[in-house]
Amino acid sequence: MNIIPFQFEAMPIRLIATADGEPWFVASDVCAALEIGNTSMALMPLDDDEKGVSTIETLGGRQEVRTVSESGLYSLVMRSRKPEAKQFKRWITHEVLPSIRKTGSYSAVQVPKTLSQALRLAAEQAEQIEQQAALIASQKPAVEFVGRYVEADGSKGFREVCKLLGAKENEFRAFLLDTNIVYKLGGRLVPYQPHIDAGRFEIKAGVTHDDHAYAFNQTRFTPKGIEWIAGKWMARNLQRLEA
């Protein structure tokens, strides 16, 4: 286990690189940087695979700390009311994580030593800027959507969520199926029971208004589920960009 310390606006953030190469962040550090007061409450809505506990060495000896995954971090960012939260997410996704995945460490400044290195770095940065611009443009509807609807009453249907996330219906449907969030039943998408129990979805019953009226059930995202799936979708898009 490798602990990588860095700072955001003088706030210490500890990242734990596990054996499988996945980054985990010390939850209390992230919450402090985002001005989220109660770390325990902030972690409660996260999935089990988005939070955990790690043992690290401190000045006082070995200590257990609560951690969040990359996806869990994005969920915390969306709950933060701090104006710099978006800046924090951008810094993590565009500077810290790419640097760690490429070099195994984070350095705010990379100085090329030769002309060829300088040219290669310039080309890489130009490509990264282009990719980042495309990603920001694609994620803008999701960011605006979360801001407008995450605390609103009422649920949203599948197509409404796709539209507001800026997601293609077929890609979003495949994502929900591949990640075992929903399954198909009679041509409809039905959430697995644990996600219903967690309050992310609700099933609405209805009846068609025609000559052949029949009852049907419709899956809808709750406000809590909207915030949760937006974080999952953003994490998926960022991972695809870095791949």
Number of domains into which the chain is organized:
2
Residues 164 and 87 in one domain: no
| CA dist., res. 208 & res. 202, Å (int) | 19
pLDDT tens, position by position, 79-88: 787 777 878 8
- Give me the CATH number covering residue 2: 3.10.260
Q: Look at the block and give the residue holding tokens 């992310």.
A: 200
Among the candidates 73, 92, 111, a domain finishes at 92
Is 136 inside a domain boundary? no
For 232-243, the pLDDT digits (tens) are 888 787 767 655
Q: Look up the domain containing 165 and give its range.
A: 156-230
Give a yes or no: residue 15 inside a domain.
Answer: yes
* 115 located within any domain: no
Give the pLDDT of residue 4. Answer: 79
The per-residue pLDDT of the chain, averaged, comes to 76
CA 162 – CA 172 distance, rounded (Å)? 7
* pTM to 2 decimal places: 0.48
Mean pLDDT, rounded, for 144-159: 65
Same-domain check for residues 88 and 16 = yes
Straight-line distance from the first to the last Cα atom of the chain, in angstroms, rounded to the nearest whole number: 23
List of residues 6+ apart from 21 with CB closer than 8 A: 101
The answer to whether residues 165 and 85 belong to one domain is no
